[in-house]
Structure 1
Amino acid sequence: MKTIVKKTDPQNIDMDVIEEGGEILRKGGLVAFPLETVYGLGADAMRAEASLKIYAAKGRSSDNPLVVHIADIETLDDIVSEIPESAKKLMQRFWPGPLTLIFNKKENVPYETTGGLDTVAVRMPSHPVALALIKSSGLVIAATSANTSYRPSPTKAKYVIDDMYGKMDMIIDGGTVGIISLKSTIVNVTQSTPMLLRVGYITKSMLEEIVGNVSLWINEMAEDSVRNG
């Protein structure tokens, strides 16, 4: 596979580049793009075969859930069965940003995207290129870090090229990312008390300022439940 590499300035986005990426995603292809934390590898979250391409490109087990990236909160109604009050408060405070929330999914969300689970991981990124790509595509984008399994998460398009060139259709080079050096915080909001699965940029105390008590999953496997998004 030949990988197209196109550059855009996050502060002056080239919409031709974004629209090209959106068209590739609509056709079921793979696009690497900048997030505020790392470069992500994305596909149409609602197409099972597209999500499977991400696993194949990374050499990653398909039982490891992907994170669904959205550009507006209204889109949640299409993919989750319920939005608890705790989730609404957290979204209002921390979205867009590095907070991943775990919801009960609707039946239309493929198990290939959720790693076989009845829950779906969702976040709204704050990086302008990521938001523009999601909006242009008209999709919700399933993504994970754009590196082969067990390699470092990339903060530059060059690292994606060195590691994964030829395994995706397009790389959108938006410069160096990772100003937020920690991964996204992951919170399960399917229970009455939100449960912190992974501590990232947003800490437990920051969460509790918004929703009160937050339980903590003391389990080393928790970090592997959802790889960065």
Structure 2
Amino acid sequence: MDVIERAVSVLMHDGLVVYPTETVYGLGADAFSDEAIQKVYEAKKRPLSMPISIAVSDFEMLCAVAHVRPGMEAFIQAFLPGPVTVILPARNSVPEILTGGTGLIGIRIPSHDLALRLIERFDAPITATSANIHGLKDPQTPDECTVSRELLIDGGRLSGIPSTVVDLVERRIVRRGAEADKVEQFLSTL
């Protein structure tokens, strides 16, 4: 059994998997399991009022969990897969705990092969929060992943620059990170 198959098995049993992305290590759990999501909050010591983003493998999976309004698709096609998280109106299928009660969900399509293979094999969204205790440094190496988990997929040293978070409803940058200047330039054309 390869590491991706082992990771899928962990996710199917509401476990936590640390996985590499093109930015930092993420903490993955089944995004449709209340029990798994609760474990993510506990592992990170993160306040329940704070939303948690999810990762999907393609545009079709993104549309299954979020409403893509006119004008948003061009931005998504330009920046995803990649180091950008888009905030979109959540569909009813998304657990409210992930939205922090906002009705909005942050979504990534990572451009890291291992992350994409994991999500594709699991065939459902997983959580996409950094694999660290809330408020501490974003993990760039496996040794910096300070959260409890059942499995860690070692992807070596990562860039360490978190994704840029863009609210596509308000058309504004929420957090500057990787490719922030390109994102800003694109937003000014919308």
TM-score (normalizing by structure 1): 0.77
Q: Which of 102, 116, 128 is the aligned partner of 1:117?
A: 102
Question: Deviation at 1:183?
Answer: 1.7
CA-to-aligned-CA distance 1:90-145 (integer Å, 9 cap, x gap): 12111111111111111111012222221111010111111111111111011211
Give the 5 Å matches for 1:28-177: 28-80=14-66, 82-160=67-145, 163-164=146-147, 167-177=148-158
Question: Deviation at 1:210?
Answer: 3.6
Structure 1 pair 59/188, CA: closer, same or farther in 2 (3 Å)?
same
Structure 1 pair 137/54, CA: closer, same or farther in 2 (3 Å)?
same
Query: 5+ residue gaps in structure 1?
Result: 1-14, 215-229
Aligned pair count reads 190
Given that 2:173 and 2:184 are in contact with CA atoms closer than 8 Å, whether structure 1 keeps it comes out as no
Other structure's SS at 2:54 match: strand
Match of 1:202 in 2: 179
Structure 1 pair 171/208, CA: closer, same or farther in 2 (3 Å)?
closer
Could you say which structure has the larger radius of gyration?
Answer: 1
Match of 1:7 in 2: none
Question: Deviation at 1:87?
Answer: 2.0
Query: 5+ residue gaps in structure 2?
Result: none
Instruction: Look up the equivalent residue of 2:152 and give its one-letter code.
Output: I
What is the alpha-carbon root mean square deviation over aligned residues?
Answer: 1.7
Match of 1:188 in 2: 167
Given that 1:48 and 1:113 are in contact with CA atoms closer than 8 Å, whether structure 2 keeps it comes out as no
Other structure's SS at 2:2 match: helix
TM-score (normalizing by structure 2): 0.92
Question: Deviation at 1:85?
Answer: 3.2
Other structure's SS at 1:155 match: coil
How many angstroms apart in 2 are the aligned matches of 1:27 and 1:112?
Answer: 19
Paired-residue identity, % = 36
